[in-house]
Amino acid sequence: MTDNNQIPDHVMELYPQNEAVDEYNQSRIVEYPGSEARLIAMDVAIILRRLVDLMDDVMRRVCVSDQVFGGAMFIFFGDMGQLPPVRNENQFFFQNSYIQDATMYTLNEPVRQSITEQPELIAFLNSVRLYDFNDNVLVFIRDHMTDNNQIPDHVMELYPQNEAVDEYNQSRIVEYPGSEARLIAMDVVNILRLDKETELLQVLRLKVGVKVMLVSNIDVASGWVNGCTGTVVSIDEKLGIVSVRNERNEIRAIQRITRTIFRTENSRAQFPLRLVSAGTVHRVQSLTLPTGVAISLGRPFDSFGQFYVACSRATRADNLYFFQSAYNRVMIAENNVILDFIINLRQ
């Protein structure tokens, strides 16, 4: 036994609860000489220019300082080749004067794809990101075209729009053996707003064996987060439990959650799950899909970055597929404001 003020500095103190750990760490930092740095990192690819001004205003108030961001050090990061803000109005974060005065770096080594093992895929993605649809890109797409009935079951199909995703998922569920469970949401008041704003389905169709995705954070520490995918292993409607096995072979009992629309009494209680034999590009933007990606070319990619995001979810060239090219061409929206920023930054 010893007094805590006699414990050597190089020894780590252990506590059973988080509260005591946080309290001790915060008390210790003031004992070190020099000024304290507040480091805040965030992904800014999907935020608007005016939000940077709002963050600056809030940080000045919180830190009681007239310095930019209240004197705190911000590390902004993001891939501007991905999907921009939904309501972008061409008002991107990099157009903010504080950002323009900042030091910028370009990171060149991908995380999802191996430089040594997948040089062809990386070269393809780099070209697509810059909208450079050269002969090599077109040959790559042609070489990876397939009939949609030849796509392996474990591969997720990606579409630009929700309608095609819903149609495919509903058609696939009937192919699974066993009885289908139709899990009805418990709604209060306005159903149309609940469909749009809660991301919880009014009617969730499930069977044992179907692939699903979480649309809410259930247990962040254990990896059961929004976007996590898995397979339904059991459905107990009486107990209100759907058991899901994730990619790490862990099984979790999922229960209904309730979401309420801000400043209303509209609420919905439903299992935070969706079928994901197919998915939209928007929904998988933060995901890596190592089991494979099949991308539909049958409809236009009407948002900047959609096609690049879809392709870059794959980890290997041999598990990236294209199908349904109705017109022998790919229709892709572009945005010169973003492209100019990316190109100038690289230079």
Q: Tokens 């066993």 sit at which residue?
A: 178
pTM of the complete model:
0.79
pLDDT of residue 87: 67
Closest C-alpha among 315, 307, 293, 302 to residue 154: 293
Q: In a 3-state reduction of DSSP, which class is residue 199?
A: coil
Q: What are phi and psi of 238, to 5 degrees?
A: -65, -45
134: confidence class by pLDDT, cuts 50, 70, 90: very high
pLDDT of residue 4: 72
The model's pLDDT over 295-316, given as tens digits with 9 standing for 90+, comes to 999 888 988 999 999 999 999 9
The model's pLDDT over 238-262, given as tens digits with 9 standing for 90+, comes to 999 999 999 899 999 999 999 998 8
140 pLDDT exceeds 90?
yes
Closest C-alpha among 282, 329, 335 to residue 164: 282
The C-alpha atoms of residue 56 and residue 342 are separated, in whole angstroms, by 24
The C-alpha atoms of residue 173 and residue 47 are separated, in whole angstroms, by 36
Provide the residue type at 166 as one letter: D
Determine contact, residues 251/222, Cβ cutoff 8 Å. no
Identify any residues that bridge with 207 across adjacent strands, giving them in sequence order.
none
Q: Could you tell me how far CA 135 lies from the centroid of its own chain?
A: 31
Percentage of the chain beyond pLDDT 90 is 47
The C-alpha atoms of residue 102 and residue 114 are separated, in whole angstroms, by 30
Q: In a 3-state reduction of DSSP, which class is residue 244?
A: strand
319 pLDDT exceeds 60?
yes
63: confidence class by pLDDT, cuts 50, 70, 90: confident
The C-alpha atoms of residue 206 and residue 227 are separated, in whole angstroms, by 18
The C-alpha atoms of residue 185 and residue 226 are separated, in whole angstroms, by 19
120 pLDDT exceeds 90?
yes
The model's pLDDT over 171-180, given as tens digits with 9 standing for 90+, comes to 999 999 999 9
156 pLDDT exceeds 70?
yes
The C-alpha atoms of residue 271 and residue 167 are separated, in whole angstroms, by 20
331 pLDDT exceeds 70?
yes
Mean pLDDT of the chain: 87
pLDDT of residue 89: 64
